[in-house]
A and B are shown apart, each in its own frame.
Chain A
Amino acid sequence: MANMAQAIRMALHYAETHLGVTDIFGEDVGAPLGGVFTCTQGLKTTWNSPLDERGIIGAAMGIAMGGGRPVAEIQFCDYVYNTIDLLKLAGNTCWSSNGDWNLPMVVRTPVGSGIRGSIYHSHSFDATMTHIPGWKVVMPSNPLDAYGLLISACKEQNPVMYLEPKALLRVKGEERIPGEPDDDRTLSKLIDAPLGDRSQWKPQWPEALEAFAVPIGKGKLVREGHQVTVVSYGRTLPLCARAAATLADEGISVEVIDLRSLWPYDWDMMKASIQKTGRVLFVNEDTEVTNFGEHLVRRTVDELFYSLLAPPRLLAGKFVPGIGLADTLEMASVPQQNDITTALRALAGEQP
């Protein structure tokens, strides 16, 4: 099965050949590298931009205004912060022009910890991004969703922020992307650029790729359970799924929801689950103060208070200025497998 980087690449290939994507660009996105995480190797509309994030976001807005369909990349989300006013502008262009203009553009950026990226290659961006109205915000946790969400993003009339959990970019999927070859080695031979000289290389895209789209705004029920709900997305989602499997052995039944879309988000799915279990843990790795999960906790309290058997909980990154390079520092800064299992166990056993 494809890994997430390959899935993204295949979706972009599909989008530039079938969905009208005109420009896939950013720092090192074009040949020869094809993106520092290889997500854009071999695509036909890629090009390398100047090292200028404001220029990248601005150009994406201009291309979208001009009638193109851009997919811009910011190399690490840590570097998107100096474009924050442009992101705000892209988000309010439709509204402030009273519907006159809309910007069909996608911005992709890798987020989060997990590659020992130290202080400036480990940030999360979900809290900041969900604070900017007018954008749709998605974050896949597996290759199939990565493919399907990107297809949807490239069909959108509105700006979409596509967050890529960098820890998962190399993880193979468990589900097949419609149209990908059955075995990994074949796929790799077809679409992974060789090391060394690539000047003569051309990818052979699987011809059977389909317009498989994951609708923006729909979560995924990853595992059914009836005692506790855990809601997550991105890097921490597989950890939650594993925690649920571990706890099942202990006789604790955990329902796992992959949110996939942060804005708009699937409240119906969360609501139904929380009403069933009465207990909910939200997990992400952004810093915990003014965290997107805090919004979900607030909404849970507002709307589902009388269904709750225990206070809704949030497990998130520590409110520290960065993620230190040493293994011990990174591990202590963002939720790890054990933290999630422990938190779920405690929540399942919590009595008033």
Chain B
Amino acid sequence: MSRPRLIKESSAPLPLDRELLVRIHDLMVKTRVLEERLIQMYKQGHGYFWIGGPGEEAFNVPLGLLMKKGQGPEYDFLHAHYRQSGTLLALGEEPIGALRQMKNTASDPYSGGRNFAGHFSLRKYNVAPVSSPIEVQYSIAPGTAMVQKRVGGDGITIVTGGDAGTAEGDFATCLVWSSRPANPLPVLIIVTNNKWGISTSAEGQHGEPRVSERGKAFNIRSKTINGNDPVESYLELKEAMEYVRKERRPFLLEANVSRLYGHSSASGANYVTEEVDCLKDFEKRLEQDGVLTRQQMDDLRNRYTEDMAAAARIARDEPLPEPESIWKHIFAEDK
């Protein structure tokens, strides 16, 4: 932790083990290829709506790798939003689940064909169901953190959302509830700032120079980082998570990220060339540092592209949920 970090200079050697760098890269590629496949499925009419996180892999993958994964309050909770396929894949999910959700098949492991792509739910890893109303997860997160604090151990609650959504009262709720002096809570409050609402720019949305500064008023330790750099993301997330785990107090982390395919299929889902592409940048550095060759990385991408096409074919042929299944799971049965 005290080791000086020069990660912002691209000439400096990458300060993570080779094995970890390769793993992060692998998951970033897998995520990107998954998202591109999802977009393609949408465009070919194999899904009604796409929303996802291409451009946020450099932040989301390290987050998933660093989570203490498991079920129950001893493990980390994730109250995610709809751009976090990278985190889910890093937790060990197979991409076909997301493809099934896009195709709304009965086999969709996250909602049984009931919800949009990117709306994960995974109780076995404490991933709360992603909700369409933005930001509500910030009101829910303090609840899991309260239980975790009471239970003891080092499990923390992680909540993520977009910058535009911080205008909702739920964001204030999270700052207030997690920082009460009488009962501070182990919540890692994350805002991924891609500088846009749907079409409202950050300039039209909020005036603070950095969203993270809103933590100051609540005496919440905060930081803004470059979420397009997986190495910086990994190290900063690790430090923030260690703080929350140990101190049982909140931390507000703002990650500046790119939105590579626009807001969602509602805005076209086409590649935006002006944005920083975290994967391209990372690959340049991996090549420079001799961690991976261009050939190796191209091969990896091709392999994932083929895998994904095969998985999509499987999902496409699977049945939709039975109409009568609308009556299932309105209530949980007593166990």
Contact = CB atoms under 8 A, between A and B. Distances in A.
Interface of A: 22-23, 50, 52, 54-55, 57-68, 70, 85-86, 89, 93-102, 133-134, 136, 157-158
A154 to B, nearest CB: 13
Contacts of A89: 131, 133, 136
Interface of B: 72-73, 77, 79, 108, 110-112, 114-115, 119, 121-123, 128-129, 131, 133, 136, 138-148, 150-151, 157, 169-170, 173, 176-177, 180, 328-335
Given A95-B330, A97-B121, A50 B180 contact: yes
A65 B128 contact: yes
7 tightest A-B CB contacts, nearest first = A62-B143, A58-B139, A66-B147, A98-B112, A102-B332, A99-B329, A66-B144
29 contacts: A22-B147, A22-B150, A23-B146, A50-B176, A50-B177, A54-B139, A58-B138, A58-B142, A58-B143, A58-B173, A62-B79, A62-B142, A63-B143, A65-B128, A66-B143, A67-B73, A89-B136, A95-B328, A97-B110, A97-B129, A98-B110, A98-B112, A100-B121, A101-B123, A102-B332, A134-B330, A157-B333, A157-B334, A158-B332
A63 B77 CA distance: 12
B176 A96 contact: no
A94 B332 CA distance: 7
B250 to A, nearest CB: 14
Contacts of A66: 73, 77, 143-148
B139 A57 contact: yes
Contacts of B73: 66-67
Given A59-B142, A68-B143, 7 more contacts: A54-B139, A54-B169, A64-B143, A66-B148, A68-B150, A86-B139, A102-B331
B143 A98 contact: no
A62 B141 CA distance: 6
B145 A62 contact: yes
A94 B330 contact: yes
Nearest to B121: A97
Given A50-B180, A52-B177, A101 B146 contact: no
Contacts of A157: 331-335
Nearest to B120: A97
B323 to A, nearest CB: 15
Contacts of A136: 331
Contacts of B79: 62
A55 B142 contact: yes
A89 B129 CA distance: 10
A61 B128 CA distance: 10
A64 to B, nearest CB: 7
A319 B173 CA distance: 34
B226 to A, nearest CB: 30
Most buried by B among A52, A95, A133: A95
Most buried by A among B77, B112, B329: B329
Contacts of B119: 96
Contacts of A58: 136, 138-143, 170, 173
Contacts of A57: 139
Contacts of B123: 97, 100-101
A84 to B, nearest CB: 11
Contact of A68 (B108, B146, B177): B146
A96 B120 CA distance: 10
B147 A52 contact: no
Contacts of A95: 114, 328-330
Most-contacted residue by chain B among A22, A23, A66, A136 (CB, 10 A): A66
Contact of B114 (A50, A62, A70, A96): A96
Contacts of B115: 96
B218 to A, nearest CB: 12
Given A59-B142, A67-B73, A97-B110, A85 B133 contact: yes
Given A89-B133, A157-B331, A52 B140 contact: no
The listed residue with most B CB atoms (<10 A of its CB), out of A22, A55, A62, A93, is A62
